[in-house]
Amino acid sequence: MDQAAPRGTRDILPPESGIWQQLEERFDDICQRYGYGEIRLPSFEHTEVFARGVGDSSDIVRKEMYTFDDRAGRSLTLRPEGTAGVARAFVQHGLSSEAYPVKLYYRMNLFRYEAVQKGRQREFNQFGAECFGSADPAVDAEVIGLVDRFLAELGLTAVRLELNSIGCPDCRSNYHETLRDWLRPRIASFCPDCQQRFEMNPLRILDCKVPEDQARLHDAPLLFDGLDPDCRAHFERVTELLDAQGIRYQINPRIVRGLDYYSRTVFEFISENVGTQGTICGGGRYDGLVAALGGGEVPGCGFAMGVERLLMELEAQSCLPSLPARSRLYLASLDRAAQTAAAGLADRLRQEGITTCSDLVGRSLRAQMKYAARSGFSHVIVLGSDELASGSGRLRRLSDGAEEEVRLDADAIRSRLDPRTAD
């Protein structure tokens, strides 16, 4: 058997998993402060949900999904992104009858069959939030504000916010014609990918990474410049609200999100440190998504943040959340009787909230001390016949070797070890 995890997947072991727990806690916390409730969804959906939600012309649907038939012949797909599933649940549970706006957040693992590289795996994690039921630009600004606040609370600084509007479907179909007309006489000189995109989705040509193509595009008409008055007003209100919150952003008329459901506002938080996959967070408005999944005309807006990329950025900026320092007590034992007593005392201490371990190997005292030091215990009590007879022992602080006499009693020990502060 192959002992390695499948390509593009990764195990997360302690102590790294502790960092994940911290991040998850902080994300839960900020979402709740903004009034979002957590939604948990199945890891797979009917393939339809993504085909119709994310869109048939997107790369995700065309070539990156883990799709399979179940034993009854239903086509199912491991979720490649979060928003479509949230919208499906919104429709299924009739959340359109709740008081608007409906605010939901999630943390989930996602699956895409992609070429693995830095900042991109086949199973990865996102934190995200979706706000349904209001077309007001105040939602867009608050959603962006939540992400900005979250990154700031984590201590990140050099993350750039780029903002654009891709308009409503009418703006886009008008613009498609404008852009096609402009491209038609020039498309032959573009790269082969762009020539394909010309038919499928000419909008994507604007995002082409080939430098020569970018140069050719410098005077291409921009969707941004052709927004209809409502879309233009929406965008301007978003920027007004961001300005009022003191959130800095750059307008980038060339951002195009790869998921078809976006409309009007789109944004990305981009890092300089994650390699070429620098987008830590992407999001925007998706006013047609709920309807595409069979619900009513319910507007929505949200974001998704790549947790692995966020962690890379936190590491690069030396902002990894530190684990809370706690006292951890190791009970060393000299013989079988002491080992028995240690197990009992450990149980009582754990009930008092003290992290306590005792010898489970039957090792020498020297080896136990070595283990305790290496494993990050803050304190040790050695139990032997003297301690069992007297009912008291010496609490040794490993950082400096200081010892003090304590009764071998959970209350007495706890009073010397505040679980919230290690020293």
Q: Which of residues 19-78 bind RNA (CB under 7 A)?
A: 58-60, 64
Is there a contact between 109 and 125 (Cβ–Cβ < 8 Å)?
Answer: yes
Is there a contact between 369 and 336 (Cβ–Cβ < 8 Å)?
Answer: no
Residue 239 or 333: the one with the smaller Cβ distance to RNA is 333
Question: Which segment (138-146, 208-216, 221-229, 240-248) binds RNA by CB under 7 A?
Answer: 208-216
Is there a contact between 301 and 143 (Cβ–Cβ < 8 Å)?
Answer: yes
Q: Does 300 bind RNA (CB under 7 A)?
A: no
Q: Does 360 bind RNA (CB under 7 A)?
A: no
| The only residue of 91, 329, 334, 345 in contact with RNA, by rule CB under 7 A | 334
Q: Does 2 bind RNA (CB under 7 A)?
A: yes
Closest distance between RNA and the C-beta of residue 229, in Å?
28
- Distance from CA of residue 57 to its chain's centroid? 25
| The only residue of 117, 173, 415, 421 in contact with RNA, by rule CB under 7 A | 117
Residue 373 or 412: the one with the smaller Cβ distance to RNA is 373
123 contact partners, CB below 8 Å, separation of at least 6:
8, 9, 10, 109, 110, 111
Identity of the residue numbered 147: V
Q: Does 210 bind RNA (CB under 7 A)?
A: yes
Q: Does 101 bind RNA (CB under 7 A)?
A: no
Please tell me the distance from the alpha carbon of residue 326 to that of residue 86, in angstroms, as a whole number: 38
Q: What is the dihedral of CA 184, 186, 187, 190, to 10 degrees?
A: -160
Residue 196 or 351: the one with the smaller Cβ distance to RNA is 196
Q: Does 279 bind RNA (CB under 7 A)?
A: yes
Touching RNA, residues 158-197 (CB under 7 A): 193, 197
The packing angle between helices 137-153 and 229-245, to 10°, is: 30
Q: Does 281 bind RNA (CB under 7 A)?
A: yes
Touching RNA, residues 244-273 (CB under 7 A): 256-259, 268
Q: Does 148 bind RNA (CB under 7 A)?
A: no
| The only residue of 29, 98, 240, 386 in contact with RNA, by rule CB under 7 A | 386
Q: Does 308 bind RNA (CB under 7 A)?
A: yes
Residue 100 or 124: the one with the smaller Cβ distance to RNA is 124
Closest distance between RNA and the C-beta of residue 175, in Å?
17
Q: Does 384 bind RNA (CB under 7 A)?
A: yes
HSE, side-chain direction, 13 A CA sphere, residue 197: 21
| The only residue of 43, 189, 385, 415 in contact with RNA, by rule CB under 7 A | 385
Residue 17 or 385: the one with the smaller Cβ distance to RNA is 385
Residue 120 or 414: the one with the smaller Cβ distance to RNA is 120
Angle at the Cα of 181 from the Cα atoms of 180 and 184, rounded to 5 degrees: 75
Residue 100 or 198: the one with the smaller Cβ distance to RNA is 198
The number of residues that bind RNA (CB under 7 A) is: 74
Closest distance between RNA and the C-beta of residue 233, in Å?
26
Question: Which segment (13-21, 44-52, 169-177, 302-310) binds RNA by CB under 7 A?
Answer: 302-310
Touching RNA, residues 399-418 (CB under 7 A): 399-401
Supply 45's token pair. 């959906």
| The only residue of 223, 380, 410, 422 in contact with RNA, by rule CB under 7 A | 380
Residue 210 or 251: the one with the smaller Cβ distance to RNA is 210
Please tell me the distance from the alpha carbon of residue 173 to that of residue 223, in angstroms, as a whole number: 10
Closest distance between RNA and the C-beta of residue 227, in Å?
21
| The only residue of 35, 37, 155, 275 in contact with RNA, by rule CB under 7 A | 275
Q: Does 298 bind RNA (CB under 7 A)?
A: no
Closest distance between RNA and the C-beta of residue 302, in Å?
10
Closest distance between RNA and the C-beta of residue 374, in Å?
5
Identity of the residue numbered 47: T
